[in-house]
Amino acid sequence: MQEVQGLVIRNTGSHYLVLCDDGVERACLAKGNLRLRGIRSTNPIVVGDRVEVKLTPEGGGEAHFIKEILPRRNYILRRAANLSKQSHILAANIDASFLVCTLVAPETSTTFIDRFLANAEAYRVPTQLVFNKTDLLNEEGQAYLAELIALYTGIGYTCHRVSAITGEGLETLSEQMQDKITLFSGHSGVGKSTLINALIPGVDLRTGDISQAHYTGMHTTTFSQMIPLPTSKGYLIDTPGIKGFGLLDMQDEEVSHYFPEIFALQPQCRFGNCTHTHEPACAVREALEDGRIAESRYISYLSILEDKDEEKYRPEY
Ligand code: GDP
Ligand code: ZN
């Protein structure tokens, strides 16, 4: 055997650990001229990549080489904070991303949720909402949560009602992770680490507040790994600094493509390039009037339109 395909499960900065399709994990180097077309990135290969490895005969002391990256279904990245347009890809081929939200301690705003979802749509990363800390909700909070869940379920997003403390909803969440490459995001303090610890007992995570503190260190930013799930072939991506995905550059009329219920009405607007803000005979604003489009969603949509030109990169998204 001279070549084998595999899955990159760890990136240490100096080499990649590849779980090859013959079941063997091998440390590999990347060939110097490896490049991904169309993406200007500081790092060509990331966890979640499917790669083709050229094997070097064992015992010779030489490394195996990653020859080729197979086409990606999706990827997420962090934009460099400066304007160099360089970006740092964090992971590829994500099957499911879970946005952890809380209505109290701290409160996740619907604007944050919607902006996250729109970016996830743009990156083609299927996303589910995980409302955590349900044990802290009073009656009013429960009612608001029910409303939000009805809203997002209606749009097509799977929602989970969980508590990392009481264990509510964890079984269903765990089922959704089976055999998938998954990613947890969300504001600091919403309970990501607590949830992951409950889902994967004994896991040693670097995400969360602790790694955020080291986040500027070169080593910790390049190091990322996938943690195997105990009960299936799935993996959880563990990478520092994910709060969301970098905001994409998009045209005004493109923003609505990433709000599925707004996009669905677009064909009924008089103008094909309607931005649903001021145009006459706009089906979206009509739907807003009679409650078929939620006001909170429309506000989030406007917020992206408003600041996307001023600020292409916002660290919190
Ligand atoms: P992270 O920053 O998202 O990783 O959040 P942590 O996992 O560190 O959790 C932040 C705080 O919320 C900790 O004090 C946890 O004990 C608490 N917490 C997490 N999940 C729950 C929950 O479901 N219910 C309650 N009451 N507290 C929780
Ligand atoms: Zn319109």
Please write down the long-range contacts of 163-170, taking CB distance under 8 Å and 24 or more positions apart: 163/132, 163/133, 163/134, 163/135, 164/132, 164/133, 164/191, 164/194, 164/195, 164/197, 164/198, 165/133, 165/135, 165/194, 166/134, 166/135, 167/198, 168/134, 168/135, 169/134, 170/195, 170/198, 170/199
Atom of ligand 1 nearest to the CA of 132: 23
pLDDT reported for residue 315: 43
Specify the amino acid at residue 227. Answer: I
pLDDT reported for residue 202: 82
Q: Which residues line ligand 1 (CB under 6 A)?
A: 132-133, 135-136, 163-165, 186, 188-194, 208-209
Ligand nearest to the CA of 195: 1
Question: What is the C-alpha separation between 225 and 240, in angstroms, rounded?
Answer: 10
pLDDT reported for residue 101: 96
The rounded Cα 199 to chain-centroid distance in angstroms is 18
Expressed in angstroms and rounded, the spacing between residue 292 Cα and the centre of ligand 2 is: 14
Compute how many other C-beta atoms are within 10 angstroms of the C-beta atom of residue 143: 10
Atom of ligand 1 nearest to the CA of 196: 7
Beta strands 75-79 and 235-238, pairing class: unpaired
185, 97 Cβ separation under 8 angstroms: yes
Cβ contacts of residue 128 below 8 Å, gap of 6+? 96, 97, 98, 99, 157, 158, 159, 160, 176
pTM of the model: 0.88
188, 145 Cβ separation under 8 angstroms: no
277, 271 Cβ separation under 8 angstroms: no
Per-residue b/e over 167-176, b at no fewer than 16 CB within 10 Å?
A: ebbbeebbeb
Ligand 1 site-directed mutation target among 104, 161, 194, most atoms within 8 Å of CB: 194
The alpha-carbon radius of gyration of the chain (Å, integer) is: 21
Q: Which domains does the chain have, with CATH numbers?
A: 3-69 (2.40.50.140), 75-238 (3.40.50.300), 252-305 (1.10.40.50)
Local structure of 232: helix, strand or coil: coil
Expressed in angstroms and rounded, the spacing between residue 224 Cα and the centre of ligand 2 is: 42
SS3 per residue for 24-45 = CEEEEEECCCCCCCCCCECCCC
Ligand nearest to the CA of 209: 1
pLDDT reported for residue 231: 85
pLDDT along the chain (317 residues), means of 10: 93 89 93 60 83 85 87 82 67 95 96 93 95 98 98 98 97 97 92 92 62 40 79 85 59 91 97 95 98 97 80 44
Ligand nearest to the CA of 270: 2
Expressed in angstroms and rounded, the spacing between residue 239 Cα and the centre of ligand 1 is: 19
Expressed in angstroms and rounded, the spacing between residue 213 Cα and the centre of ligand 1 is: 18
* Closest residue CA from atom 25 of ligand 1: 133
Expressed in angstroms and rounded, the spacing between residue 190 Cα and the centre of ligand 1 is: 6
